[in-house]
Copies of this chain bind each other. A is one copy, B any other.
Amino acid sequence: MEKIISKYKGKFKLTPQRIAILKFLDNNTGHPTAEDIYNEIRKKYPTVSFATVYNTIQALKDRGELSEVTIDPQRKHFDPNLRPHHHIICTVCNRIGDIFTDFSAVLHLPEEILAEYTLTGNHIDFYGVCSECRTGKESMFQQ
């Protein structure tokens, strides 16, 4: 928490709302949506607006400290984990998990693609059914 605050000192204004957002995002592996963030911050700051949530998200994206996860067709999810990684989506409960394996070395593309594109990156979405959903507890998590 002190770490979070000192990290941003003198960079952008640390308002109470922003501190709450930063705390919520710190080590958050749940891939929250803007609404998830809003609902969390609202517990402590009931008058917080979506504008503040989106503004802060944008500020963090601009600083490269948050990335947008475009997996869910309905809404954007956000990910504060800066370590490059892939995702695994449970097709029953839709939760998004992280995969930290680097597959770059084995993703050999055909020559004609390499000639056509200068490659800069890759991202893999794995699909599966998580253990909770397999053991019949899925209703707890379905969205």
A interface residues with partner B (beta carbon < 8 Å): 68, 70-73, 76, 88, 90-91, 97, 99, 101, 103, 106-110, 113, 115-131, 134
Complex CA–CA separation, A128 to B122 (angstroms): 9
- A118 — which chain B residues lie within 8 A by C-beta? 128-129, 134
By the criterion CB–CB under 8 Å, are B129 and A120 in contact? yes
Copies of this polypeptide in the complex: 2
Are B120 and A109 in contact (CB-based, < 8 A)?
no
User: Which chain B residues lie closer than 8 Å to A113 at the CB level?
Assistant: 88, 97, 99
B109 touches A101 (CB 8 A): yes
Partner of A131, one of B72, B117, B125: B117
Give the distance in Å from the alpha carbon of A108 to the alpha carbon of B99 in the complex: 11
Extra contacts besides A99-B113, A103-B107 (19): CB < 8 Å:
A70-B72, A73-B76, A88-B117, A97-B113, A101-B108, A103-B103, A103-B106, A116-B130, A116-B131, A117-B126, A117-B129, A117-B131, A118-B128, A118-B134, A120-B127, A122-B126, A123-B127, A124-B124, A124-B125
A70–B70 Cα gap in the complex (Å)?
Answer: 6
A18 vs B118: C-alpha distance when bound (angstroms): 38
